[in-house]
Amino acid sequence: MSSIFSKTFETYLDVSDRATLYLDPDDKIAWANRACTEIFGMAVDDLMGRPIEYLSKNPIDRSVLRPQTSIYQMRHATGLLRDVLVTTVNLGEQGWMLELRTSSIDQFTTEAGVYEKRLRALSDEVPVGIFFSEVGLRLYYINTRLTEIFEVPAGRIYGIGWLDFFSAEDRSKVESAATRALKGERSYVVANLNTGTGRIAQVSLNFRNISTDRGATGFVGTIEDVTDQIAAEERLTFAATHDPLTGLPNREAMDLTLARHFSTAGREKSSLMMAFCDLDDFKTVNDTLGHVAGDRLLIEIAKRLQRICTEDQQVFRYAGDEFIVLCRGVSTDAQAKKVLRGFQRCLELPIYLASTQIQISASFGYAVFRSKVDIEEMITKVDREMYKNKAAKKDLVFQRPGTEQ
């Protein structure tokens, strides 16, 4: 020891009330002052040459380059373990210096308690739910916002109680995300939460791994109620792909549907019929009864077309008084004409608008496609067929109630 410290400094350390150990490069005790006897219950001579692992339950962190203070469990001569505040100083190739304190533990614990209280107070002010698991899936801390999201007292959430608020399917997803976090991964999941009031909330959960000094593995996480956000996103998506008047899918939705169909049609050998529907003399309705009546007529036509569609058929509003119907599995002209007759019959039923009975009719053009075709070419083809069939149509007939022929 004298080769490292001057004799004067060594004497000072020996009489200091702070226990000090010098560890050689093999982590064995090469020097200890008299204050160490109080901590370990052993004479200084009995400490000499012992590996530090004999006295410390926790391995000393050898990776630190700067002085670092941590709590370690040290073994007394009686076999009892006690918490000791240890400051480690890396001396490089010469070994380590350890300064050990027990009188500061209470102060350290008090400071940690104050720090924890501040963190808890802060977490209760943030607008997201916060939770901690110290070991496994069991929660030991939740903030106020989390109880507001679950709409139950905190006591029902602690431990693994929080998992009971998810359906079986969603619970499996949440447990999987939490388990990934326990393995060291960051994870994220959106799930349906059955709140204490019976409301179903869509929530997003984020998990991140945390480990304690004693090797236990848990996670810290956040939970947000994203019900309104998801609903707003769905409304925006719906607005982008649907006609605001009739609620029918629009041209953009039709393009997406056709793209999906042709991406699988080659594998499934599925044919597709496209039918173009144009209402006859629709302008007369607007000119005679007004645009409000015209809008009501379009809404009624959309409802009728939707009602008659099977699961293999879908109707879209193309533009104005024009509609397009896609029919999967129709491969022959006979099948196509049978489908169109059904659409024509449902549209020819009388409609009452502004106390006026309207006998509407529509012209159809169709084509059957068995392989991928450019969408514009498809529409041009069926549109041309529709106009061919429109020439011999009767004019729109208006009748007031009680004046039927």
Q: If pLDDT is split at 50, 70 and 90, which confidence band does 399 have? A: very low
Give dist(CA 99, CA 80) in Å, integer. 20
pTM of the model: 0.54
**pLDDT, tens only, 47-60:** 999 999 889 887 87
pLDDT at 197: 94
pLDDT at 403: 39
Q: If you average pLDDT over residues 183-189, what whole number do you get?
A: 93
Q: Between residues 396 and 10, which one has the greater pLDDT?
A: 10
Taking the CB of residue 398, how many other CB atoms lie within 10 A of it? 15
Q: If pLDDT is split at 50, 70 and 90, which confidence band does 14 have? A: confident
How much is the mean pLDDT over the chain? 85
CATH number, domain 124-230, options 3.40.50.2000, 3.30.450.20, 2.40.160.20, 3.40.50.1220? 3.30.450.20
| Fold category of 7-106 in CATH | Beta-Lactamase (3.30.450)
Q: Between residues 111 and 193, which one has the greater pLDDT?
A: 193
Q: How many helices (H) and strands (E) does the chain have?
A: 13, 17
Q: If pLDDT is split at 50, 70 and 90, which confidence band does 400 have? A: very low
pLDDT at 307: 94
| Fold category of 243-399 in CATH | Alpha-Beta Plaits (3.30.70)
Using the predicted structure, report yes or no on whether residue 174 has a pLDDT greater than 60.
Answer: yes
Percentages helix, strand, coil for the chain (3-state, rounded to 5) are: 40, 30, 30
CA angle 24, 30, 32 (to 5 degrees): 125
Q: Do 124-230 and 243-399 show the same overall fold?
A: no
* Top-ranked range on mean pLDDT: pick from 20-24, 261-265, 388-392: 20-24
pLDDT at 393: 64
Q: Is 384 strand, coil or helix?
A: helix
Domain residue ranges in the chain: 7-106, 124-230, 243-399
341 in Cβ contact with 325 (< 8 Å): no
158 in Cβ contact with 142 (< 8 Å): yes
Residue type, 287: D
Task: State the DSSP H helix or E strand holding residue 194, giving kind and residue range, or none if neither.
Answer: strand 187-194
pLDDT at 38: 86
Q: Between residues 3 and 157, which one has the greater pLDDT?
A: 157
Give dist(CA 78, CA 84) in Å, integer. 16
